[in-house]
Amino acid sequence: MTSRATISVDAMGGDHGPSVVVEGIAQLTRKRPDAARYLLHGRESEIAPLLAQYPDAAAICEIRHSDTHVTMSDKPSEALRRSRGSSMWNAITSVRDGEATAALSAGNTGALMAISKVLLRTMKNVHRPAIAASWPTVKGYCVVLDVGATVEAQPRQLVEFAIMGAAFHRAVHSSTQPRVGLLNVGAEDVKGNDTVREADELIRRAGLDLNYIGYVEGNDISLGASDVVVTDGFTGNVALKTAEGTARLVAAWVREALTSDLRAKLGALLSAHALKQLRARMDPNNVNGGVFLGLNGAVVKSHGGADADGLASALGVALDIARSDFQNQVSANLDQLEKRVEAEDEAPAPQPAEAAS
């Protein structure tokens, strides 16, 4: 039997605090009873009574008391100065010290990234971390990164994102050879800016263990044209929020159409089962959990407003990462990329041909 992973949780983060965290752990424990144990960081006086309601979850949880927590309004710089000993700081420290394999928080994203970078540092040969988000498609799920950590990415960094995204897809979505695409404004070789074209050239000649398929466009994401979509944090964040807004718009239109008159309401009643399936597929809780990639340890960010279902989904992502070979897969490809870049840097520059006499 595979040993249980240990997940370190900031129990005070997010809009709902310990109540959602404890209920989320209880939900995941019912689905995967022998998969994990949890270190819950926060106020013991608030956490303990909640755990008492879920004996099965309480048996695999250890409370680590902390008096303070990072608020949603704290700026990253302020959080770094004042967060030592907070529930968020201690949750990440447990990963740094080897007590846990992954950490999760629904708290302040900027503060979580800042604290994670300080305590865990970036992996060897990683220049900037990325946030990876799972995205529903007509073929399952794809991974989009970066969605906010590195606003402007250089070609080398985009290739690093591709390596990390492929390993993440294997770990969380159980793929073997995920297709990796580079987001661009067109599929033609001449399309895109210099950064994207240079990244495409580097990934092709680096000899990486990647199933790279070239450029993909924005409309290809939801169609499932690739399993991993690589872009900079500015573009990825805009694309993600645009997709979320579109999903809410479609949901509102469906509700309006199904309640417009008596015939529509009757049709909705007859289609209740199908509509329930549609609602489940569009539920953002099913894809909750953005992962900070490129650090010496796994950190998962849950939506701050997630309910217990969403928190359980994010915990599941943390558990999948914790029990995977993610770090080793990433390290092997990063080493290969570094060798290729070093070899190109050391190669003598081509000499101009001599003029014909």
Under 8 Å between Cβ of 99 and 137: no
Single pTM value for the model: 0.82
Q: What is the pLDDT of residue 306?
A: 87
| C-alpha span between 259 and 218 (Å, rounded) | 32
Residue boundaries of the structural domains of the chain: 1-126+294-325, 127-287
CA 35 to chain centre: 20
Q: List phi, psi (to 5°) of 40.
A: -105, 115
| C-alpha span between 226 and 215 (Å, rounded) | 10
Residues contacting 206, CB < 8 A, separation 6+: 159, 336, 337, 340, 341
User: Is the domain defined by 127-287 classed in CATH 3.40.718.10?
Assistant: yes
| C-alpha span between 282 and 96 (Å, rounded) | 36
List, run by run, the mean pLDDT of 10-residue segments along the chain (357 residues): 82 90 93 91 95 92 92 83 89 95 91 92 87 86 88 91 90 88 87 90 87 91 91 90 81 80 77 68 70 91 89 91 82 79 66 51
Of 287, 279, 165, nearest to 216 (Cα)? Answer: 165
Which top CATH class is 1-126+294-325? Answer: alpha beta
DSSP state of 287: G
Number of residues assigned to the chain: 357
Q: In angstroms, what CA-CA distances link 47 with 51, 55, 127, 300, 313?
A: 6, 13, 38, 21, 20
Q: What is the pLDDT of residue 211?
A: 93
Confirm whether 1-126+294-325 and 127-287 share one CATH topology. yes
| C-alpha span between 162 and 183 (Å, rounded) | 11
